[in-house]
Amino acid sequence: MEVTLVSRYFDTRNRGAGSYSKLIADGLNQKDIDLNLLSQENALISSYNPLSYLFFSSIDLKRLINKKQYQDSDVFHSLTPLESLYLPKSKSVCSILDFIPLSEANSFISKSFAKFFEKSIKSAIECKKIVVINPNLKDTLISDYGVDTSSVDVIPPPIEDKYFPKSKEDNKYDFHNDNDTLVIGTISNLMKRKRVDIIVKSFLKADIENSKLIIGGNGAEKENLIKLANGDERIEFLGFVCDEDMNDFYNSLDAFIFPSLVEGYGMPIIEAMACAKPVITLEDSYIPSNIKEKTFVCSVEDLPKVLENREFKCNIKGNIEFYKKHSIENISSRLMDIYESI
C-alpha cells in the first residue's frame, strides 16, 4: 500500500499540527507501506509565514498533488482540513484537530482565515473518512455539518513515550527549597487564549509564602505577564523549554495548571498526567469532555483558594493508563485499519 501524508510541515516547531503530523509519520514509517510526505517544503514558496502557507494550501497543492510521484498513492491523508482541497476524495482521509479558527475571527486577517478554514472543513467532510481527535468534534460534524456518523473515527493524537514519573533528585530543574514548597506551573504559547494571566493573578492572591510559580514558553503576552508578576521572586519565567527537557519540566511541579479558554485536545494535560501530576483546569474552559473530566476542575474565582489549600486530587493511576492509549504504535495501527478499509 502507498500512502501520502499531506501537511504544512512535519516537525515540532509549534507543538501543534506540525507535531501531530511528525508523530503520525514516525508511526507509519514503522509499518509495511510506502510512505510519501508532502509538505510546504515541496512548494514553490517554502518560507514559514501565513501568506506562504495560504499559497501552499489554496493554490500550489493542486500542482503538487498531480505530480507523478504521488499519482500511484492508494490513500491520501490530509493532516488538517486546510490541505484537503485538491485531494481525490474517494481515496482520501482528513484529520480535523479543532475548530478554533472559527472562534477567533476578530480582525480582518483572522476573519479572512476563518472563511478559508470553513471552506476547508466543507472540503474535508467530502473525504472517504474523517479522523477527529476527540468526541466533541465528531458531535459537531454530525450536528452542524450533517456528516454521517459512520464516516467519522475518533482517534486521539499520538504522544511520544518519553513522559514518565521521575524523582526530583534526577531532575534538571529543582524549584523546591524544601519538601514543603508548593511548586505549580504551566507551559504554552503565551497568547491571550491561553489565559496564563489568570494563574499569575490567582497565585499572587493566594500569597502562599513557601511557593513558586513556574511559567514555560514564549509568546506575545510574555511581557504583559512579567509586568503582572510585578517582580515577585516566587514567579519564574523559563522561556522556551526544548523537547528533551519537557519530561523534567513536568516532573519538577507539584501540580500543572492549564487555564486555556479553548483547545482541540490539550496535549500538555496528557503529558503532565503521564508524569503522575495532578492537573487543574477551569470550569469555563472549552476542553474535550473526556479529558476535562480527568482533571481537577474549579472556577476562576476559586483558584486562589484551591492553590492555598492544595485541593487538587486526581486519579493519578487512571490518568497514566489514559496516557498509554496515545502511544505512537497504537495510533498508527488504528490509522492503518482506516487506510485498509479504503
DSSP code per residue over 204-249: HHH--SSEEEEEE---TTHHHHHHHHTT-TTEEEEE---GGGHHHH
Contact 7, 83 (CB under 8 A): yes
Residue 131 has pLDDT above 70, yes or no: yes
Residue pair 267/17 in contact by the 8 Å Cβ criterion: no
Angle at 121 between CA 86 and CA 135, to 5 degrees: 130
Q: How confident is the model at residue 175 (pLDDT cuts 50, 70, 90)?
A: confident
Residue 246 has pLDDT above 70, yes or no: yes
What is the pLDDT, as a whole number, of residue 15? 67
Check pLDDT > 70 for residue 14: no
pLDDT at 142 over 70: yes
User: Could you report the per-residue pLDDT of 263-272, keeping only the tens digit for each?
Assistant: 999 999 999 9
- What are the backbone angles phi and psi of residue 5, rounded to the nearest 5°? -90, 135
Q: Does 299 score more than 80 pLDDT?
A: yes
CB atoms within 10 A of CB 178: 6
101-121 mean pLDDT: 85
- The CA distance from 228 to 223, in Å, is 9
Average pLDDT over residues 228-241: 95
Is the whole model's pTM more than 0.95, yes or no?
no
What confidence score (pLDDT) does residue 177 get? 72
pLDDT (0 to 100) of residue 108:
78
Residue 52: its pLDDT value, please?
84
Q: Given pLDDT bands bounded at 50, 70 and 90, which one contains residue 13?
A: low
Describe the crossing of helices 328-341 and 17-28 by its angle, rounded to 10 degrees.
80
Going along the chain from its start, the domains and CATH numbers come out as 2-158+327-341 (3.40.50.2000), 182-324 (3.40.50.2000)
* Mean per-residue pLDDT over the chain, rounded: 93
Query: How far is residue 92's CA from residue 78's CA, in Å, rounded to a whole number?
Result: 8
Q: What is the pLDDT of residue 331?
A: 97
Q: Residue 188 and residue 239: Cα distance in Å, rounded?
A: 10
